[in-house]
Chain A
């Protein structure tokens, strides 16, 4: 499973870098989107894939059960997802604002220069 996911990460990073290097703002945004997904997947794979119980401490217990998943990797990926969403939203907002005063409203065909 790790090998398959590693290959998927490799494909995502390759596609992400390729689209990021295009002189088109919509493709740059898509490239960042691929890279962010690759990073989240890489964290999951690096921290170990397993199928265990949910990392929830029951009332009356002081610590996690032995057969629980690791909550740090899950919380880290959630945090990264939120941050990457914020960065992408801000980038899209800036691009919309920058190109809004041009007559052409085809956003996907816009480039920087």
Chain B
């Protein structure tokens, strides 16, 4: 194939338009019928994986789909030549998939998985140009991400040991009604640290890469 990036760009644009249409349809369903719950494989919670879409998550999904569609349209004409043959569209689609999984996660384990997928695809996009500077910038980011994954999972373990469940709706009801023990407070600190590290909040932003300017600006 002579121009594989053109085919990838057109396919990605088509699917992002379909995703945007489906996100708008989901938003309409939630406005009319309230929050939607889906059990993967029809396995009931807590053994099955739950996906929950309420109004806030539907709005986030619509915003993400809109940005993804705009990116695809923009990239048809303006993406730098050096990026076109290096899995840019695959990685961006994976990033959007991880974002949608993050918005729809109904339990903390799925949220952990989606955050890790988000981090891995972000890292891959950071090192897309394969220059030495990009690789040098990405290594501390991977290490910080690994430490935050450790912290999140330890927090999940402690929380699961004290509550017996990782479903977010169940935990929200339980933690509202019962008094917080030291174990739950400890788990909250671990999870809070992890989310702060992933969100690059003070003082955990030092490991994050400096902005990488494109060589060819549109």
B116 contacts which of A73, A87, A112 (Cβ < 8 Å)?
A87
In the complex, which residues 38-89 of chain A have their Cβ closer than 8 Å to any Cβ of chain B? 38-40, 42-48, 64, 71-73, 75-76, 79-80, 83-84, 86-88
B105 interface contact, C-beta 8 A: no
Cβ contacts under 8 Å, B120 to chain A: 86-87, 90
Cβ contacts under 8 Å, B147 to chain A: 20, 32, 35
A28 interface contact, C-beta 8 A: yes
If A42-B154, A72-B166 touch, whether A32 touches B143 (CB-CB below 8 Å) is yes
Q: Is there an interface contact between A98 and B132, defined as CB atoms closer than 8 Å?
A: yes
Q: Is there an interface contact between A87 and B146, defined as CB atoms closer than 8 Å?
A: yes
CA distance A95 to B138 in the complex (A): 10
Q: Is there an interface contact between A72 and B47, defined as CB atoms closer than 8 Å?
A: yes
If A43-B160, A71-B47 touch, whether A94 touches B142 (CB-CB below 8 Å) is yes
B161 interface contact, C-beta 8 A: yes
Q: How would you classify the secondary structure of chain B's contact residues: helix, strand, loop or mixed? A: helix
CA distance A52 to B139 in the complex (A): 43
A39 contacts which of B109, B139, B150 (Cβ < 8 Å)?
B150
CA distance A84 to B153 in the complex (A): 11
B145 interface contact, C-beta 8 A: yes
Q: Is there an interface contact between B116 and A42, defined as CB atoms closer than 8 Å?
A: no
Rounded to whole Å, the gap between the CB of B120 and the closest CB of chain A is 7
CA distance A66 to B146 in the complex (A): 37
Residue of A nearest to B145 (CB): A87
Rounded to whole Å, the gap between the CB of A40 and the closest CB of chain B is 8
Tally A-B pairs: CB < 8 A.
94
Rounded to whole Å, the gap between the CB of B145 and the closest CB of chain A is 7
Q: Which of A25, A35, A45, A46 has the most CB of B within 10 A?
A: A46
CA distance A46 to B116 in the complex (A): 22
Q: Is there an interface contact between A76 and B138, defined as CB atoms closer than 8 Å?
A: no
Rounded to whole Å, the gap between the CB of B82 and the closest CB of chain A is 17
Rounded to whole Å, the gap between the CB of B165 and the closest CB of chain A is 8
Q: Is there an interface contact between A47 and B161, defined as CB atoms closer than 8 Å?
A: yes
A101 interface contact, C-beta 8 A: yes
Q: Is there an interface contact between A94 and B157, defined as CB atoms closer than 8 Å?
A: no
Residue of A nearest to B162 (CB): A46
Rounded to whole Å, the gap between the CB of A56 and the closest CB of chain B is 12
Rounded to whole Å, the gap between the CB of B12 and the closest CB of chain A is 24
If A42-B154, A43-B153 touch, whether A76 touches B161 (CB-CB below 8 Å) is no
Name B's A-contacting residues (CB within 8 A).
Answer: 46-47, 109, 112-113, 116, 120, 123, 127, 130, 132, 135-136, 138-139, 142-143, 145-147, 149-150, 153-154, 156-158, 160-161, 166
Closest 8 A/B residue pairs (Cβ)? A46-B161, A43-B157, A46-B157, A98-B135, A39-B153, A91-B142, A35-B150, A83-B116
Name A's B-contacting residues (CB within 8 A).
Answer: 20, 25, 28, 32, 35-36, 38-40, 42-48, 64, 71-73, 75-76, 79-80, 83-84, 86-88, 90-91, 94-95, 97-98, 101, 112
A-B contact pairs, 10 of them (CB 8 A): A25-B139, A32-B147, A46-B158, A47-B160, A47-B161, A64-B47, A72-B46, A80-B112, A84-B146, A94-B135
